Structure 1
Amino acid sequence: MIRFLKSLVLLPIAVVVILLAVANRDPVRLSLDPFSPDPVFSVTLPLYAILFGAVALGIVVGGIFAWLGQGETRRQVRRRGREIRRLEGETARLKTYAPPAPGAALPNRTALPAPR
């Protein structure tokens, strides 16, 4: 079912991407120098390649910032994992102690004065 839904969503996206690539295959000049009429560094690529490159760069930069933003959460997960392992070890150590004898007397709580 998931495969069907995924193809239902991705198929129209693929069609749009292919149509974009076919319709925008004319070369354009990409320059990083906005002040010079004849820039030193420029590259001529098809428009769809520039668009796809910009989308890919946005995905990579967004992923990096998302990963950096989750640093505190990852730190808490590691800290809690260490605490869980410590407590599990302590629980296992305490389980090795012998339980009290079946007939052992427990302290008499009725002899204590009632709390006020």
Structure 2
Amino acid sequence: MKIIRYAFWAIIAICLITVGLANRGAVTLRAMPEVLGNLVGVSPDITLPLYVVIFLGVAAGLLIGFFWEWLREYKHRAEAREKGREVTQLRREVGRLKTQKHEGKDEVLALLEDAS
């Protein structure tokens, strides 16, 4: 199983290196169009290799997707927490009822009644 995992990660690494080598050209990222930047007087831009932009875009997409799913699944997590509390409360109640049922009886007879 470890060999398959290592082979998978090796293939992923080869693909990433290939994409990086094929997209080494520099690109300029601008926060706003040039015309608007000249009008405002501020034009924040940065020059990066294209593969960095691609990888940052993929990473940002993954983070946004994970966050979206976390928000979407909130109701399921809340319901599971509520059911867990309910199960804990019911277990306590069953334990309390068992001790009340056999209160004042012989312990051996109580065990035999529970077994049947």
Q: Please tell me the TM-score bracket, short chain as reference.
A: 0.7 to 0.9
Cα separation, 1, equivalents of 2:82 and 2:99 = 26
Amino acid aligned to 1:48:
Y
Aligned partner of 2:84 in structure 1 is 81
The TM-score with structure 1 as length reference comes to 0.76
How far residue 38 of structure 1 moved from its aligned partner, in angstroms, is 6.7
Deviation at 1:41, TM superposition (A): 1.4
- Larger Rg over CA atoms: 1
Supply the distance in 1 between the matched residues of 2:22 and 2:36 (Cα, whole angstroms). 28
Distance 1:37 1:76 in 2: 49
Aligned residue runs from structure 1 range 11-90, under 5 A: 11-34=10-33, 36=35, 40-90=43-93
| TM score, norm. by length of structure 2 | 0.76
CA RMSD in angstroms comes to 2.2
How big is the shift at 1:46?
A: 0.7
Corresponding residue SS for 1:25: coil
- The 2-side partners of 1:42 and 1:35 are apart by 10
Tell me the CA shift for residue 24 of structure 1.
1.6
Question: Residue 36 of structure 1 aligns to a residue in which SS?
Answer: helix
Change (3 A) 1:36 1:92: same
Matched residue SS, 1:33: coil
Aligned sequence identity (%): 33
Deviation (angstroms), 1:35: 5.3
Runs of 4+ in 1 over 4 A off after TM superposition: 99-102
